[in-house]
């Protein structure tokens, strides 16, 4: 039997190195698997979702729900929200859409609960922050609403709707300087934003900056805010600036859009009376009294206009309105001096997006 002799020296060393290399090669697949396993353990959540679910189906369904939402089909959203919830992992968007559906159902507590979950998933989610502000604003909880709107703005600096919400909130709280500043920011970010121009104009009016108010009421009209309220507000700005002719023209436009616009009819009557056009003033007063038969200012102004043609008839009408008092004409004029006119504030409609 042949027994090989032990090889020492260089030849033996070469043999041992060769065997070691073979063992390393044999172990390599196990090491590669270990590295692949560790990589799987450190994958991001988004990568896991892409690998574990129908990612295209998931994003398509979210996009469809968003389309329903943006087009105002809130009642249809619930069906697809439930479908998503049954098929796919929860994401911040689905909690946001659930909140929107709850808001539409006037279930504000449910809406806030869903928004809090969405914000737990992404604290800087501006849509959810804005919506939380929206809910608190609906409740007239102004401080909480402002807090969330400001956080939403920090997360999404150039969103005009968030800036508008902040402006409107300040306006509702009679802080017209801040309202103007935020409305101006909204207009800068969205130049064709009619509602932003409207709030800015109202804020300027309240600060007695009538020329700038007129400019931005005009822009609101040009951008499609063709409302009798806007025409009336322009009339107020003209009257405040001493332009009675402009006031009458804008009141006429407001009344053309809304024949029962009492404020416009009353200001129209007062404008005509100031310009000593008593027939026109009398006609406007009669229109007011057909709508509000207890409007004392219209009744007094009508009597004064009548008295310009027939003193006794006017005095009789004043006595019927004010009672048998001394110097009834003087009392009537003093009362008329207390006539108050003011713009109609923008609607308190905060915005989602």
Query: Is 0.85 topped by the overall pTM?
Result: no
167 vs 179: CA distance, rounded Å: 4
Alpha helices in 156-291 (DSSP H): 160-172, 176-189, 194-206, 210-222, 228-240, 244-257, 262-274, 278-291
pLDDT surpassing 70 at residue 5: no
In the chain the first and final C-alpha atoms are separated, in Å, by 92
In the prediction, which pLDDT does 327 show? 86
pLDDT band for position 12 (cuts 50, 70, 90): low
Query: Could you tell me the CA-to-CA distances from 178 to 3, 172, 186 in Å, in that order?
Result: 101, 11, 12
Least confident of 5-9, 65-69, 237-241, 343-347: 5-9
Domains and CATH numbers, the chain: 53-157 (1.25.40.10), 159-208 (no CATH), 227-343 (1.25.40.10)
pLDDT at residue 52 in the model = 55
Q: Is the pLDDT of residue 298 over 90?
A: yes
- Residue 30 confidence class, pLDDT cut points 50, 70, 90: very low
Structure confidence at residue 339 (pLDDT)? 83
Say what the pLDDT of residue 335 is: 85
Nearest residue to 75 via CA among 109, 103, 115: 103
CA distance 307 to 135: 54
Predicted local distance difference test score (pLDDT) of residue 329: 86
Indicate the range of 147-156, 257-266, 312-321, 333-342 predicted with least confidence: 333-342
- Tell me the pLDDT of the chain averaged across its residues: 87
- For residue 3, the model assigns a pLDDT of 37
Average pLDDT on 135-149 reads: 97
Does position 31 have pLDDT exceeding 80, yes or no?
A: no
Binning pLDDT at 50, 70 and 90, where does residue 17 land?
very low
Segment among 102-116, 173-187, 312-326 with least mean pLDDT: 312-326
**pLDDT given at position 53:** 61
Task: Tell me the pLDDT tens digit for each residue of 221-243.
Answer: 999 999 999 999 999 999 999 99
Which helix (DSSP H) or strand (DSSP E) does residue 142 occupy? helix 142-155
pLDDT value of position 336: 83
pLDDT tens digits for 192-209? 999 999 999 999 999 999
pLDDT value for 155: 98
In sign, the C-alpha dihedral spanning 83, 88, 89, 93 is negative
């Amino acid at each position: 039997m042949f027994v090989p002799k032990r090889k020492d020296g260089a030849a033996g060393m070469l043999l041992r190195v060769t065997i070691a290399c073979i063992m390393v090669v044999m172990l390599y697949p196990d090491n590669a698997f270990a590295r692949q396993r560790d990589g799987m353990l450190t994958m991001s959540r988004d990568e896991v979702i892409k690998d574990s679910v129908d990612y295209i189906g998931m994003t398509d369904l979210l996009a469809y729900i968003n389309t329903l939402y943006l087009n105002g089909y809130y009642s249809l959203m619930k069906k697809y929200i439930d479908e998503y919830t049954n098929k796919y992992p929860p994401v911040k968007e689905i909690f946001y859409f659930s909140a929107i559906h709850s808001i539409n159902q006037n279930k504000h507590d449910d809406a806030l609960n869903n928004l809090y979950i969405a914000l737990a998933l992404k604290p800087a989610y501006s849509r959810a922050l804005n919506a939380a502000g929206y809910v608190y604003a609906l409740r007239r909880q102004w401080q909480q609403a402002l807090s969330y709107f400001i956080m939403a703005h920090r997360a999404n600096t150039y969103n005009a709707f968030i800036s508008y919400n902040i402006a409107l909130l300040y306006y509702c709280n009679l802080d017209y300087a801040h309202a103007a500043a935020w409305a101006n920011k909204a207009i800068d970010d969205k130049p064709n934003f009619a509602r932003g121009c409207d709030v800015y104009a109202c804020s300027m009016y309240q600060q007695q900056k009538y020329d700038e108010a007129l400019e931005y009421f005009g822009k609101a009209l040009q951008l499609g805010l063709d409302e009798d309220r806007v025409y009336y507000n322009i009339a107020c700005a003209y009257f405040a600036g001493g332009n009675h002719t402009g006031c009458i023209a804008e009141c006429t436009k407001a009344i053309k859009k809304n024949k029962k616009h009492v404020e416009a009819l009353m200001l129209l009557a007062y404008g005509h009376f100031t310009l000593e056009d008593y027939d026109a003033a009398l006609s406007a007063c009669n229109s007011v009294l057909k709508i509000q038969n207890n409007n004392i200012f219209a009744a007094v102004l009508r009597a004064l206009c009548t008295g310009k043609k027939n003193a006794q008839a006017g005095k009789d009408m004043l006595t019927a309105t004010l009672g048998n008092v001394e110097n009834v004409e003087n009392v009537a004029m003093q009362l008329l001096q207390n006539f108050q006119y003011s713009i109609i504030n923008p609607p308190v409609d905060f915005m989602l997006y």
